[in-house]
Amino acid sequence: MTHSPETPEVPIRPYTVGAAEVVPGDLLALSQEDVAGHRWHVVTHTLPVGPEVIQVTLRPPLGGVDREETLRRGQRVTVAGRRMDVDAVPCVSSPALDDVEFRDGDRVHTLRTVDPEADEVTYVRRWGAWAAEGPSSAGSADDADVRRWAAEADRDGVLVRHDPRPVRAAEAAGARRVVVTGLGAVTPLGVGTGELWQGLLEGRHGIRELADEEFDGLPVRIAGTVPVDPAGLLPRQAARRMNRAAQFAVLAAREAWADAGYADGGTRESGLDPERVGVSLGAILGDASVLVGGDRKLRDRGPRGVSPLTTPMTVPSQAASQVSLDLHITGEARTVTSACASGTEAIGQAVDRIRYGRVDVALAGGAEAVVTPAIMASFAAMRALAAGDPAAGSPSHPFAKDRDGFVNGEGAGVLVLESEEHALARGARIYCEAAGWGLSADAHHVAAPDPSGDGIALALRRAVRDAGGRVADVVHVNAHATATVDGDLAEARAVRGVLGRRDVPVTALKGHLGHLQGAAGGVEAVAAVLTLHHGVVPPTVGCGEVDAAVDLDVVRGEPRTLPSDGDLVLSNSFGFGGHNAVLALRRVA
């Protein structure tokens, strides 16, 4: 609104004249108080109404409503020293906002139009409050303040304009908004999201010594393992037909299903069309122990010693199929395998399936159980594993100066995603919006990350763009941060490069959990949702001193309140071979 070509800036060089000398186009102040208060008006019309009296029509120089003033001919007034083109000053009025329903993301622009040198101030509504954008010192306001501004604007020489939150272009093509309504997790901190969240806030870790004799002789014998036997939490007959990763997945899915308000048993008991519900889970191997065990039995006992369930329990897709069986979901059961980015990509795939109407509800996340001797030995041979005594603190040190590798782990994390219209129709509790996601590939090395971080940065930018947001909206990053020397640095460069010099709080959970491989993205997405829901950022465990080269605001020591100047949280996952996936979550007002 300010200083458009039609309303050019006018230099102020005040001097006094008699009212009889005033002509249309003059920039007029009626008193010295008006001059001091930068309160000017353009004379748009003059009319003699008597021998000693003239009537002038005045309009704010940056646009507004007209007012009439009656002046004595000899009355001294102040003019600014330059005339304006009356036709270029718009006659506009601020609309009433009493009946407008404000939403987070709306903008209100205010301009003090009686001051030719005024700048427009923009307020953005986030989390129910209005905050001035940019370097303005205008402070904050609430909805009542904004409605009052609009009601009093014409009287005060102010223009107020309300811009509703823009609708994403994709929605015009039929895309639906996707929300999170349920959460489930099985992690080294325990079974359930309550155990996960409490452990994160308390700064506990679930990394343990591997006591089984099969790990004897390995150079590294620590891992993030689930502290209970998942088979003992499931019906015996069903558990016997599931590998360990599938058991984790079914337990997490059941918790998420119940948390979303659906009935025990599955789709039919919940009154849902099973064809409109899907499953999308990430896994790298699922459960590597089944194939290893089958090979051992073949050598020890011959072909008859190998169970007929070996093959169906070996495939990475077993977790998705078992969740669909357990909850009677027939819409689809998808499995995504993209190394350590698998869980996050699986969630992103489910977001798109709901967006474009393939299903209405989806359980999405990841499950993995690869704490086996061969996998541990392989990672150790790559010199990728951290060593240390779990009793002395977490051996995993994400972003720390002394980081020396990751800790292998296992578990599952599952979200219930729904179209917003479906969730609202049934009165569901909504945690947040699954607003967007981004993918990219490094195309750099079979295992090592691209040190430039360019591929990671591309995924970050795509996630923000897909969410219909801006980089300035990001208030928190749940980092992948495996605690490998090169991996953490590449991610830090990417995050800093995309977010700029803003100190966005960053946290990494692998000090709490170890690296859950294909399940990492699912579990970390659960944590990111809870961070938005509770407005609290968990601390990063194991990071005693941040590496100076990381140059990020790593949350350590104590939980931190989530900043209120934005509404997007990013959850990062990156995998061997250059797989990059980022999920963008948005706070729902």
Active site residues: 340, 480, 515
In our burial notation (b when 16+ CB lie closer than 10 A, e otherwise), range 337-370 reads bbbbbbbbbbbbbbbebbbeeebbbbbbbbbbbb
CB 180 within 8 A of CB 431: yes
CB 81 within 8 Å of CB 40: no
CA distance 151 to 141: 15
- DSSP codes, 355-369: HTTS-SEEEEEEEEE
484 exposure class (CB count in 10 Å sphere: 0-12, 13-18, 19+): buried
Q: How far apart are CA 32 and CA 87, in angstroms?
A: 27
Would you tell me the crossing angle of helices 288-301 and 373-381 to the nearest 10 degrees? 110
C-alpha atoms less than 13 angstroms from C-alpha of 38 in its C-beta half-sphere: 12
Q: How far is CA 123 from CA 165, 167, 293, in A?
A: 12, 18, 62
Cβ 329 vs Cβ 267: under 8 Å: yes
Per the structure block, which two tokens stand in for 401? Answer: 């100066």
Half-sphere exposure of 190 (CA within 13 A, CB side): 10
Strand (E) positions, 60-215? 67-72, 76-83, 107-112, 121-126, 129-132, 140-141, 158-163, 178-187, 190-191, 207-209
Main-chain phi, psi angles of 69, to 5 degrees: -130, 140
First to last CA, the chain: 29
Cα separation, 453 vs 430, in Å, equals 34
Sheet of 158-163: strands edge to edge?
Answer: 140-141, 129-132, 121-126, 107-112, 158-163
CA distances from 260 to 193, 201, 332, 414 (A): 13, 23, 19, 11
Buried b (16+ CB within 10 A) or exposed e, 485-504: eebbbbbbbbbbebbeeeeb
Separation CA 491–CA 581 (nearest Å):
12
Q: Residue 400 corresponds to which amino acid?
A: A
What are the structure tokens assigned to 27, written together? 């920039």
What is the rounded CA–CA span in Å between residue 589 and residue 586? 9
Rounded to the nearest 5°, which phi and psi values hold at 164?
Answer: -60, 155
* β-strand partners of 444: none
